[in-house]
Chain A
Amino acid sequence: MPPPTIAFDAMGGEFAPTEIVRGAARLSLESDLDIILVGDAPKLSALLGETRHNAERIAVHHAPRSDSPTASLPSTSLFEAASLVAEGRADALVTAGDTGALLHACLRTMRLLPGVEKAALAAVYPTELRRGAKDDPFSLILDVGANHEATGEDLLTFALMGTTYARVISRNPVPRVALLSSGAGAEWEHPAILEAEAEIRRLPDVEYLGLTEGHLIPKGSADVIVTSGIVGAVATRMLEGVTQTVLDLARYAYQERLSWRLGLTMVAGFLRQLKRLTDWEEYGGAPLLGFDKVVIRADRRSHARAITNAGKVAAKAVAHQIPRAIAERLAPPEPQLVAEG
């Protein structure tokens, strides 16, 4: 079986194309994946010429237009990359580009799986607890920004897609699911959440934990946290910001006073561990679930390491045939034949 082909939108993200090229270049040296860099070919060729890479594993696909949040037009790098995947010339798409443009490009080139009304962008968040046969130290949160709002039915679909991902990728046979709520009590909850709760409770192969609040996410009691796009995006951004602030404060203190420096040096091991656990670049990217192809979105601020890891996540999702697994999970149960007599 040939290694999967990963199409990288080389022009998407704050540090594109330099960091995307560096990340893909590193991936070409660390894996046997076939890589297609989509973007401004002269620019990408020049960057590749200055970067250690294995040219046997990298091809460049020229897309003359650069990306913009509104332009999911043909000939932009993102649209071209999505088209390569949709046409089967690549197996997965990785982008650090704008979420809205990504969604537009995917909607125009790929198909939503039967039973999916809205695709959901997932994010992984590092947690205290580990899960699945692989001891993965993160929860999956979805949706984190693909949609503004979600109905109860959408949230149920997100739960089904999220648990399938957790089951296949983390090898977690019975994922624990929670719905993110305000914590103000059932009478104040959004009707969509209550509607979804009633349905998720009835799902087989899923342990439903009930409603959860934002501060419980890092504890990791839930493997899959379901929420609507805006809430998910705000929650994940805030959680990332807290750790960053702790580390920034520690760095500031380290520079300020000798006594603080000594104290911080003593707990440096713990701080490194905290940084490692909460380092989103370590996880690379998270999937956009619901399409018939593998789509991985890396953070807009991604540097080379995050892009390399996003490529690895994409390869894993391809190897485990995530879209197919989700499609099977969403398929209505076949009617059982009852013998007459």
Chain B
Amino acid sequence: MEILHVYRWDLDKTYLRTDFDTLRGLLRAAREKASAKVNVAGSRALVRELQARPGARVSIISGSPRQMRRTLEEKFRLDGVEIDELVLKPNVENLVRGRFRAIRDQVGYKLPALLEGRSRVPARASETLFGDDAEADAFVYSIYADLVEQRLSTAQLAQILEQCSVYEDDAERALDLASTLQKGPPIERIFIHLDGYTPPARFQAYGRRVVPIYNYFQAAVLLLLDGHIGPKSLVRLSVELSQGYGYSLVSLANSFQDLVRRGLARAEDVTAIRLAFEANVALFDKLRPATEVIQTFVERLKMVSGLKLSAEREQRPIDYLAIIGQEGPPNTWRHRRRKRVEAPRRKGPPF
């Protein structure tokens, strides 16, 4: 069957709950068995629903080392998820060649990997991307989206790669792939899972395409509204979140209110959720009656009724060099993010 839509996922902190902020966490992730790996709440259910769509292709591009392929494939098998493509990072090769910067670098690895992946699908295939806020997913994905849509020239790309201190061979590879890229349809959405609770406003520079989400219920609601998944899929995902991860009705309703407040959904869209739950009573009724679900959602929505909050309609051009100028090169972002979260030290008297 022809590939109509590609769902590209990052792995750590997007699909799997991995701690790579500490050396201990990194070592644990490398050693742990497939059965010990834990999913980000709802990721497994969402991938399952997406891959069931006719013409869908699920591709995973991860910064995990290639040596983990077997464990990860086993994990997907245990999850009942069929992955069409799994791209892993040549970390050992980078170490052997003394390319230490490449171990942390995301742009030099992920961008060529994304472009290569794109060359393997028909030009008219549309895409939805999933990443997280731990590193530079929003940045890399946005560059990729602009290249696919031919909003970014290779000259501009060369400048960005230089500012990102990407190794020369990686930059050349990215530029080669970009120059042969055929124009494709717009990348519909770039979902960024807020694993570290990065404030959503920090992603404003990337425009409307980048959608920060607190959980996969929020992604599922938007995918339902976009027509990617059906009502049953939304209910199944809600059941998994509720049964498997302890999500309450209130937390789901709050998540929807958050989408409305950010202008990503409209209050009227609650109708789609209502219809989904009413049509699939048997699925969710085991946990809570559908009427109770709707009542909770409607009550939380009434709290912000009458507000006109709208998001941008058009994707505006992204000034990548300005982002680098403001935030520094992407390979320093993880460190900066951790420093931001930690309390700043105050100067002055020690009391």
Contacts and interface: CB of A to CB of B under 8 A. Distances in A.
Interface of A: 2, 5, 29, 34, 36, 41-42, 45-46, 48-62, 89, 247, 250-251, 254-255, 264-265, 268, 271-272, 275
Nearest to B251: A56
Nearest to B215: A56
Given A52-B199, A62-B306, A89-B299, A45 B254 contact: no
A10 to B, nearest CB: 12
B304 A60 contact: yes
B300 interface: yes
Nearest to A45: B261
Given A45-B309, A59-B254, 9 more contacts: A41-B304, A42-B309, A50-B199, A52-B199, A55-B254, A56-B215, A57-B254, A251-B349, A271-B351
A231 B349 CA distance: 35
A55 B196 CA distance: 12
Contacts of B96: none
A6 to B, nearest CB: 12
19 contacts: A34-B251, A41-B307, A41-B309, A48-B261, A49-B200, A52-B198, A53-B197, A54-B214, A55-B254, A56-B254, A56-B255, A57-B254, A59-B300, A61-B303, A250-B349, A250-B351, A251-B348, A251-B351, A268-B351
Given A36-B303, A59-B303, A60-B261, A50 B201 contact: yes
What 9 pairs between A and B have smallest CB-CB spacing? A271-B351, A55-B258, A61-B303, A56-B251, A49-B201, A45-B261, A268-B350, A254-B349, A55-B214
B208 to A, nearest CB: 14
B254 A58 contact: yes
B248 interface: yes
A89 B258 CA distance: 19
Given A50-B199, A51-B199, A89-B299, A56 B304 contact: no
Contacts of A57: 251, 254
A256 B251 CA distance: 53
B156 interface: no
Identify whether the interface residues of A are mostly helix, strand, loop, or mixed: helix
A308 to B, nearest CB: 13
Interface residues of B, number: 33
A255 B348 CA distance: 9
A52 B133 CA distance: 12
Interface string B228-260: 000000000000000000011011111101100
Contacts of B291: none
A194 B241 CA distance: 61
Interface string B312-351: 0000000000000000000000000000010000001111
Nearest to A273: B351
Nearest to B299: A89
Given A53-B197, A55-B255, A60 B303 contact: yes
A51 B194 CA distance: 12
B48 interface: no
Interface of B: 196-201, 214-215, 247-248, 250-255, 257-258, 261-262, 299-300, 303-307, 309, 341, 348-351
A34 B253 CA distance: 11
B240 to A, nearest CB: 15
Contacts of A264: 349, 351
B265 to A, nearest CB: 13
Nearest to A28: B197
Nearest to B202: A50
Contacts of B255: 55-56
Nearest to A49: B201
A111 to B, nearest CB: 23
Contacts of A54: 197, 214
A29 B197 contact: yes
Contacts of A29: 197
Nearest to B258: A55
Contacts of A51: 199
Contacts of B309: 41-42, 45
Contacts of A272: 350-351
Nearest to B300: A59
Contacts of A62: 303-307
A2 to B, nearest CB: 6
Contacts of A36: 303
Contact of B307 (A42, A55, A59, A247): A42
A68 B16 CA distance: 49
A55 B201 CA distance: 13
Contacts of A247: 351
A61 B305 CA distance: 9
Nearest to A276: B351
Contacts of A49: 199-201, 262
B310 to A, nearest CB: 11
A248 B246 CA distance: 48
A262 to B, nearest CB: 12
A41 B349 contact: no
